[in-house]
Amino acid sequence: MNAYAIVILVALLGEFVLSLVSSTLNLRSLSPVLPTEFNGVFDEQRYSRSQDYTRTQTRFSLIRSTLNLVLVLTWWQLGGFPWLDQLLRELGFGSVITGVLYIGVLSVASALLGLPFRVYSTFVIEDRYGFNRTSPRTFVADQLKGLILAVALGGGLLAMVLAFFEWAGPLAWLWCWMAVTSISLIIQFVAPTWIMPLFNKFTPLDAGELQEAILAYARSARFPLRGIFVVDGSRRSSKANAFFTGFGKHKRIGLFDTLVEQYNVSELVAIVAHEIGHYKKWHIWKALALSITHTGAILWVLSLFLKQDGLFAAFYMNDPSVYTGLVFFGLLFTPVELALSVLVNMFSRRNEYEADAFAAQTTGNPGALITALKKLSADNLTNLTPHPFHVFLHYSHPPVLQRIESLQEPAA
């Protein structure tokens, strides 16, 4: 147990303990009293059901994270990392192909170990609470499509990163950064038209009152909206959602069919206004810039640690390599990634407030967004009283009650 091993062990255990503490506090903060703002939206049965859903999801997540931690530590201490490395080296491929196989095997093993949890979450928990509409056939197809994309995109990108670090010398991290950034930008443009339709059907919104209202709002907000699509989210879940994706002429606003079926025109316009607010407030570009900067910083720091023999010794590796260094660095970077995720979530929550304010101001009807948020909370069995520490660690969106209070402030 050298210094690197101790840091990684403390990081893994520390992250688990933090999650355990925040989850425990979150369960204790469940209030039997319905917040007055939701009178008429949640009845007694639905409110009780939302709390049961939170308890079930929390306990399930803790079981899953506990098993993951045990498996990682067991694999580590039994010498699984060097054993797999030696096994693949004996195949006689070059370092890049061996590296892709090494990380690929670990990734597939992780996915297979997580598969029973995904099955149970989808077909037991989500079904128990009336959300699941995924057929076994759709579930299997989703897994296979995800695997193919991971191999095609992830495998190719990984091979490029390994090749640069093997042959590009001290500036390898910079070449990797440029390559990763370029591919990420390309994916941002092609995902709405090539990748996302692999999983969902995008149908142009039919002409009518809703389409006219959304287009009229977009013109008033000076937003050149070309694509409004209804997404067949009901194939998988009864939960409602909306999203904005793409850039330039590939911009799309997607409304789940469950949303279109259950919400009135003013509520749907308010939801669209919120999504447009993210674009008009440059949130998407800021998040992209933050992601690119984050990637560059990680690759630079990685280039420094790939030279540290102690990192490899911590995992009983006698033959250091770039690909095993990538895996070990990911574990070493755990506490930094946790801190960064907290900062990113803070940034995201602030953006949500700004998008809410933009929607309220540009529609002139904050009440419509408030009503939509309340209905979404009821339909999705949202926890209305999350603990602040749990929100601090995990929430990318502010708690719904705080969003409503913020929307009500200008009228107060």
Q: How far apart are CA 257 and CA 350, in angstroms?
A: 28
**pLDDT band per the 50, 70, 90 thresholds, residue 210:** very high
Please check the confidence at residue 80 and state whether its pLDDT lies above 70.
yes
Going through 166-233 in order, the beta strands assigned E by DSSP cover 202-204, 228-231
Q: Is 356 a catalytic residue?
A: yes
Q: How far apart are CA 364 and CA 31, in angstroms?
A: 33
Please count the structural domains in the chain. 1
User: 315-329: per-residue pLDDT in tens?
Assistant: 999 999 999 999 999
* pLDDT for res 250: 59
CB 145 within 8 A of CB 199: yes
User: 347-379: per-residue pLDDT in tens?
Assistant: 999 999 999 999 999 999 999 999 999 999 999
Q: Is 42 helix (H, G, I), strand (E, B) or coil?
A: strand
From 356, 379, 405, 409, the catalytic residue: 356
* pLDDT for res 410: 57
Q: What percent of the chain has pLDDT over 70?
A: 98
Residue-averaged pLDDT of the chain: 92
Q: Which domain holds residue 279?
A: 1-412
Give me the residues paired with residue 231 across strands: 202, 256
CA of 91: how far to CAs of 85, 95, 142, 402, in Å? 10, 11, 31, 57
Going through 108-208 in order, the beta strands assigned E by DSSP cover 202-204
**pLDDT band per the 50, 70, 90 thresholds, residue 244:** confident
Burial 241-268 (b: 16+ CB within 10 A, else e): ebebbbeeebbbbbbbbbbbeebeebbb
Please check the confidence at residue 412 and state whether its pLDDT lies above 50.
no
Q: How far apart are CA 105 and CA 148, in angstroms?
A: 14
From 37, 275, 352, 379, the catalytic residue: 275
